[in-house]
Structure 1
Amino acid sequence: MPLDQQKPLSERLLTLTAQLREQIPLAEAIDLYVTDAGDAQLTIAAPLAVNRNPHGTVFAGSAVSVAILAAWSLLDGRLRSMEGEAQLVLQRNTMAYLRPIDGPFAATARLQDESAWLRFQSMLQRKGRARIVMTSVIMCGEAEAAVFEGEFVALRAMA
């Protein structure tokens, strides 16, 4: 569904959006909002207006920020359901821009492989540190516009 025809956001999605904007000030500056959140998928959308560059397309820094936040938010939500606290950070990433992003856009992060999550979870519980690779795909209208891949590291809080 095109971003300008989205249904009203549920209370849960509004709460997730508010939490992101409170925790990460950049999230408010780029006017992002969570449009879908499940156990294995999370989508964050943002408008062109506050994210544009001088060429009338989305500034690359805004696009990668939305992609990172989609992947980070999905992992963070899953980590919160585990016993004990963990800090989640991005260690490295790449972003392939496939076409200009010339309108509202959305990044969807998906947990592609449940077995990778189980290995990540097990390593975090055993060693207090774990890594996982996540991807986010940015759509603009009906077209795939960019693909993000990032390696995230979780560190268990020390007692």
Structure 2
Amino acid sequence: MDIPRRPGQPHPRLALPKAGLGDDLEAFQHWLQQAIPQVAHLGIQRMGLDGEALEWHLELAPSLNDKGTGFGGAMASQAILIGWCWLTLWLRQQGRAQDVVIADARQRFLAPVSGDYRLRCEPASADGVAALRERLTNRGKGRISLVQHLYCGETLCFEAGGDYAVLPSSPT
């Protein structure tokens, strides 16, 4: 059942998975479309995990600009969102239900996006996950830098990065 969204009212959390993520990506994508209504209009065809990377396959049509190529604002928004999703999914794998926010974002446009594309997100450094895990264990909150790369075919068209913060758990 779809829950209507209202300003100022948080959307209910998706229950944590019983073990790992497995088929959880489909349930997560459905929940995400309800929690953030704009997601239903981004053209996400599918989500997948590849090692430590989260990858989306997107259709271009919903993000066209006046020139018939990808709208930069849409790509920037998608990059921020896939980072938020990466960290939210990682926390779910750890059995942690904590809020995630974007703290800093930057992007670079390298080539026009002229067809359907894929967006990939992963930690910016090899020790990023271990450092985040340690901060969460010791302080209950933490930050991680993530990078996003957008490919149209084999062409790297856009790259972005962001620092994402895991907020302390709220008392229940």
TM-score (norm. length: structure 2): 0.78
2:100 corresponds to 1:97? no
Question: How far apart in 1 are the matches of 2:95 and 2:24?
Answer: 22
Cα displacement (A) at 1:21: 1.4
1:30-69 CA deviation, whole Å, 9 max, x = no partner?
2223331245111112212111011101111211122222
User: Normalized per residue, which structure has more helix?
Assistant: 1
Q: Pick the aligned partner of 1:16 from 9, 24, 28.
A: 28
Pairing 1:8-157 to 2, within 5 Å after superposition: 13-38=25-50, 40-111=52-123, 113-157=125-169
Cα displacement (A) at 1:83: 4.4
- Between the aligned residues of both structures, percent identity stands at 22
RMSD: 2.0
Secondary structure of the corresponding residue to residue 167 of structure 2: strand
Gaps of 5+ in 1: 1-9
Question: How far apart in 2 are the matches of 1:102 and 1:120?
Answer: 36
Q: Between 85-94 and 29-38, report the one with greater CA deviation.
A: 29-38
Q: Which has the higher contact order (CA 8 A, sep 6+)?
A: 1
Rate the CA distance shift 1:14–1:158 in 2: closer, same or farther, 3 A: closer
TM-score (norm. length: structure 1): 0.84
Gaps of 5+ in 2: 1-21
Where in structure 1 do 4 or more consecutive aligned residues deviate above 4 Å? 10-13
Q: Between 104-113 and 90-99, report the one with greater CA deviation.
A: 104-113
Cα displacement (A) at 1:97: 0.5
The equivalent of 2:18 in structure 1 is none
